[in-house]
A = this chain, B = another copy of it.
């Protein structure tokens, strides 16, 4: 029973090379010794690791947790593992560029919101698929996107249809292609209707940040917004608090919308009208695309549709 025979049997490549009797002897011995293959050696030999890196801005968001879950599920189905690289803010400055991602990698799946971290790990020399980033500007890498432009139009049309004309956009202060698209698309849609106003305020992506930003915006002179469009459900929660402090009721006085549809959206009172992003599906698509690239195929094109979930936080504006 040579080492080669063992390798063949355990690698399930023994048909016609090893007799059934010997194969069984090998399996029995492996069982008895509780043998485990040395992954490092296998990786070295094969020159690939079946491990990919997922780069996300921060994990403490339900959204990216969902992206991870979807990506990891697809990866597991194809015998791949997923290593996570949350951006430096969460982890601390990457001291040694190598230390952060100890695992040898086959490819990288990266959110555009963590683009700076990308160059730090030098994922740029590995097969790369970008999540949520400019299809025309991403280093030539394949891109998987949510159809956020369409989603933004759905939000705008919903509110315009209800009769709203004065908008406040509570925007995330993170530089990112996605948020740029949202701002642009919202402005385009709103301004297409005569007599509308659109104000924008930027805030860190926390409830407290949005609370402060919304209060400032509400105190600013000018036409009072009857609809507040938030870049994120969490921001909407902050807006709820700001409105409550001003004695304004949702949706009677002001309508509010979010983006993501995380658990928080239905915890709010009234439940939040929000743009549902299917985070897991996003992660799945991204991983499928990366696996395609790794196999030399070209990944499927096409943005992932998103849709508006209308709940209790939006209604017709008070006739003024």
* Residues of A bordering B, CB below 8 Å: 34, 36-41, 43-44, 49-51, 58-62, 65-66, 68-69, 72-73, 76-77, 79-84, 86, 90-92, 94-96, 98-104, 122, 125, 206-208, 234, 237-238, 240-241, 244, 263-264, 266-269
Q: Out of B37, B66, B84, B264, which one reaches A267, CB within 8 Å?
A: B264
Q: Which partner residue on chain B sits nearest A58 by CB separation?
A: B69
| Complex contacts, A122 vs chain B, CB 8 Å | 36
CB–CB A263/B264 < 8 A:
yes
CB–CB B43/A40 < 8 A:
yes
CB–CB A90/B73 < 8 A:
yes
| Complex contacts, A86 vs chain B, CB 8 Å | 68-69, 72
CA distance A65 to B234 in the complex (A): 16
CB–CB A102/B267 < 8 A:
no
CA distance A50 to B39 in the complex (A): 13
Report how many copies the assembly holds. 2
Question: A266 and B81 in contact (CB under 8 A), knowing A65-B60, A90-B73, A91-B72?
Answer: no
| Complex contacts, A37 vs chain B, CB 8 Å | 98
| Complex contacts, A206 vs chain B, CB 8 Å | 263
Q: Which partner residue on chain B sits nearest A266 by CB separation?
A: B207
Known A50-B99, A267-B267; further 8 A-B contacts with Cβ < 8 A: A38-B44, A43-B44, A49-B103, A60-B66, A61-B65, A76-B94, A81-B103, A82-B84
| Complex contacts, A82 vs chain B, CB 8 Å | 83-84
CA distance A240 to B267 in the complex (A): 8
Q: Which partner residue on chain B sits nearest A233 by CB separation?
A: B267
Q: Which partner residue on chain B sits nearest A244 by CB separation?
A: B269
Q: Out of B38, B100, B266, which one reaches A104, CB within 8 Å?
A: B38
| Complex contacts, A95 vs chain B, CB 8 Å | 76-77
How far apart are A204's CB and chain B's nearest CB, in angstroms? 13
How far apart are A63's CB and chain B's nearest CB, in angstroms? 10
CB–CB B83/A99 < 8 A:
no
CB–CB A267/B104 < 8 A:
no
How far apart are A182's CB and chain B's nearest CB, in angstroms? 21
CB–CB B73/A91 < 8 A:
yes
CB–CB B60/A83 < 8 A:
no
Question: A83 and B103 in contact (CB under 8 A), knowing A91-B73, A207-B263?
Answer: yes
CB–CB B102/A51 < 8 A:
yes
CA distance A69 to B60 in the complex (A): 8
CB–CB A39/B103 < 8 A:
yes
Question: A96 and B79 in contact (CB under 8 A), knowing A49-B102, A102-B50, A266-B207?
Answer: yes
